[in-house]
Chains A and B, each alone.
Chain A
């Protein structure tokens, strides 16, 4: 046994961060036990009880942060401690200073005269002012901040439109500009397909599937989730389509969104008509006839959108692995589920991934509930209690108020997962694990003990519990997608190869007495 102790004087982390760090630290390879906590006398007493007391721990005071790492052998201790330290450092990365620091947008624009793009992530009170300054300095803007009024959004987008600039956001979480992923984006191949999206994880999924099918991305322009509302009128999506139409490198355009407001949809479809390039439209739950009438290519699912895009972009269909649904597996699981195991429980980090699975379920079932249902009759009465088929978006405000987004800290859904796993009416639990810039460094790993525990519990009770996991990411992402998938498979979890397949597998596995697709 080997122990390393570091005491950080007068260092405070909030409880949520401390717990999250502690959980992650105990999962580091080689760590037998990691303790991150305040150096109070009582905690030191506990440390004594578990045999980890050292002279350094004795000297810690109530305002100090103690980090204690125990490994089986001395040669592992230093590297395990460094891994813990890295977790703490990453926690503070938000406050890390860049090489050159500018206090204002104006001084940054003057200091870097060649800059033409600003990513703004400040608190809502200053977001509008900073975005306006950036536009006035002829900078395209990606505005990550939310809490911006719709009136301000319209004003900013109108100003950008008049100046021929992009105004992506507010609340724009994903973009790929000039082959650089911004905020939550995945590492994808450079290619000839452009995306305009009013949906963060929706655009991540389409870009990842395009990469998987052998295609690549020119630009991924985020618009912010409210762009296709009646008030904003799709200003950014219309400008985004025009920008990609004018971009020589882009040969095919894909639009991604939840269904737009009717009058805005008309404007977008009218824009497609004028577009010189093929446009694939993936509006979840959208109207195929209207899209086709406008000359667009309708896609019902994210996978179909990506497939159509790569084919239009010139990728040879014969060389594409379309990742067909595993029908024998569906049959096998159906046979294993008891008659009372009728329901799906979808626990998602990505809102659009949740939406896609939910809409696929709604094609076959009329009792699909969610915290993001459009139909108020099927909105969960209590978001903490599932009803029949239930799909939860853990990234929704209901769950993130004062807490990290589940893509950053997925531990928030662990308790809910265990709760659902104990429900004897549940046949299938489906979950997403999102990789990429800004996301958690091991999203599957953090969920793994709970998944193993749930499987064991179900087995003990003599029932089969089917868990489907989908890892959103590419072979270029960090962490390694193959390792993430392997962890799922080793734990007996069914790996779905896409968001669409995850939704279809879940739906088909619980269908009783009907033909699957």
Chain B
């Protein structure tokens, strides 16, 4: 029996209060995705090395390798235990509840302005290329063309926000969805970062909040189910813990605290962390320009 360490409030509620059944959608070393019967929503089991996140249960396990769990294995919840066939039993009641709480955009932006340049410099130096951050030597024409389109479309979206135009936001955001070769495409990751900034309370960009929610309704076929779930949550202001901590650090922390928190974001996936961070930076830069 494995014990759950921490769980997203909504996920825990779904498991306890409803008849939760599903199938294994995909298995990686540190994450296992479950697709719920009925509405097809994706929920994630994460190993203890991972941070807390929406729709995610962090469990006291090092790896999902060698558990012999396969796509389409049955998942069900019984008596406070989540069961995957006879291969994994997880005690749910041990999980502490967690919910993403984004910080409030500050009235005093001194820290943000101070932290911004060092954070950008750090991403420039340590961020992973191949996605939003262009690689000096792309591995092939496909990567070069993807980078070109990402740059072009993220710039269009940024300028749209600066101009406070609402009519093209959805179209420009949708043009980014599914763009990039990774499991969570770079365009999706960028939007996760941007949506998080839009959802900060008092954010000068917050006029786009309703549009984030409506854009989600049109993009489901454009990306895979795993990335769509992350995007959908971000469109309602729900992002993983490391992103939340980074936003807090860059708004209120010191330079060193910002870099420390940024490292954890950059460690997400291959280039995903860098793409998310650049989405955050884009949103924060727009905020500074719009709100002073």
Evaluate contact between A94 and B66: CB separation under 8 angstroms. Answer: yes
Given A15-B270, A19-B271, A49-B145, decide whether A123 and B178 contact each other with a Cβ distance below 8 A: no
In the complex, whether B7 has a CB less than 8 A from a CB of chain A is: no
Say yes or no: is A26 at the interface (Cβ < 8 Å to chain B): yes
A23-B182 Cα distance, complex, nearest whole Å: 13
Among B41-63, those with CB < 8 Å from A are: 49-50, 60-63
B181 at the interface (CB under 8 A from A): yes
Closest to B260 in A: A382
Determine the interface band of chain A, counting residues with CB < 8 A from chain B: 35 or more
A125 touches B140 (CB 8 A): no
Please report the C-alpha to C-alpha distance between residue A285 and residue B145 in the assembled complex, in whole angstroms: 52
Q: In this assembly, does A102 line the interface, its C-beta being within 8 Å of a C-beta of chain B?
A: no
Contact between B185 and A38, CB atoms less than 8 A apart:
yes
Judging by beta carbons under 8 Å apart, are A121 and B66 in contact? yes
| Docked CA distance A43–B143 (Å) | 10
Interface hit among A6-14, A263-271, A323-331, A465-473: A6-14
Q: Which residues of A have CB within 8 Å of B137?
A: 449, 453
The reply to whether A16 and B270 contact each other, CB–CB distance below 8 Å, is: yes
- B210-224 interface with A by 8 A CB criterion: 221-224
Is the CB–CB distance between A42 and B175 below 8 Å? yes
Chain A 28-50 near chain B by CB (<8 Å), digits 1 or 0 = 00000111111011110111011
Contact A19 B130 (CB under 8 A): yes
A38 touches B177 (CB 8 A): no
Q: How far is the CA of A10 from the CA of B63 in the complex (A)?
A: 22
* CB neighbours of A114 from chain B (8 A): none
Instruction: Flag if B149 contacts A46 (CB, 8 Å).
Output: yes
* Contact pattern, B 232-258, Cβ under 8 Å of A = 1, otherwise 0: 000000000000000000000000000
The yes or no answer to A87 lying at the interface (CB within 8 A) is no
Interface segment, one of B26-34, B73-81, B101-109, B197-205: B26-34
Which residues of chain B are within 8 angstroms of A315 by Cβ–Cβ distance? none
CB of A63 within 8 A of chain B? yes
User: A40 contacts B185, CB within 8 Å?
Assistant: yes
Known contacts A15-B271, A121-B66, A38 near B30 by CB under 8 Å:
no
Complex CA gap A115/B165 in Å reads 73
B237-291 CB contacts (< 8 Å) to partner A: 263, 267, 269-272
Give the A-B contact count at a CB cut-off of 8 A: 134
Contact B130 A123 (CB under 8 A): no
| A89 close to chain B: CB less than 8 A | no
A373 at the interface (CB under 8 A from B): no
Residue of A whose beta carbon sits closest to that of B183: A15
- One digit per residue, 1 when the CB lies within 8 angstroms of any chain A CB and 0 when it does not, for chain B 133-152 equals 00001011110011001000
Contact status B61-A62, CB under 8 Å: no
Chain A, residue nearest B50 (CB):
A402
Residues of chain B within 8 A of A402, CB atoms compared = 30, 49-50, 267
Q: Does A339 contact B (CB under 8 A)?
A: no
Contacts A26-B140, A121-B66, A449-B137 given; does A42 touch B177 at CB 8 Å: yes
Smallest CB separation, A83 vs chain B (Å): 16
Q: Does A147 contact B (CB under 8 A)?
A: yes
Which residue, B130, B149, B185, B225, has most C-beta atoms of chain A within 10 A? B185
CA distance A13 to B224 in the complex (A): 12
Taking CB as reference atom, which chain A residue is nearest B178?
A40
Specify the chain B residue showing the minimal Cβ separation from A16: B270
Determine the chain A residues whose CB is within 8 A of the CB of B184 once the complex forms: 15
Task: Identify which of residues 179-203 in chain B touch chain A, using a CB-to-CB cut-off of 8 Å.
Answer: 179-185, 187
Least CB distance, B33 to chain A, in whole angstroms: 8
Q: How far is the CA of A62 from the CA of B61 in the complex (A)?
A: 30
Contact (Cβ within 8 A) A94 B65: yes
Given contacts A14-B183, A123-B62, are A62 and B270 in contact (CB under 8 A)? Answer: no
Quick one: given A15-B270, A40-B185, are A50 and B28 in contact (CB under 8 Å)? no
The answer to whether A22 and B178 touch (CB under 8 A), given A14-B29, A63-B224, A123-B62, is: no
> Once the chains bind, are B226 and A46 in contact (CB under 8 Å)?
no
- Is A149 an interface residue, CB under 8 A from the partner? no
| B126 contacts chain A at the CB level, 8 A cutoff | yes
26 CB-based A-B contacts, threshold 8 Å: A12-B183, A15-B183, A15-B270, A15-B272, A16-B270, A18-B183, A19-B130, A19-B271, A33-B140, A37-B142, A37-B182, A38-B181, A38-B223, A40-B185, A40-B223, A41-B178, A42-B179, A42-B180, A43-B178, A43-B185, A49-B149, A52-B142, A62-B224, A401-B49, A402-B30, A402-B50
A-B contacts besides A26-B139, A43-B181, A50-B145, 9 pairs, CB < 8 Å: A12-B25, A14-B29, A35-B140, A46-B149, A50-B141, A123-B65, A123-B66, A402-B267, A419-B125
- B residues sitting closer than 8 Å to A (CB atoms) are 2, 25-26, 28-31, 49-50, 60-63, 65-68, 71, 125-126, 128, 130, 137, 139-142, 145-146, 149, 175-185, 187, 221-226, 263, 267, 269-272
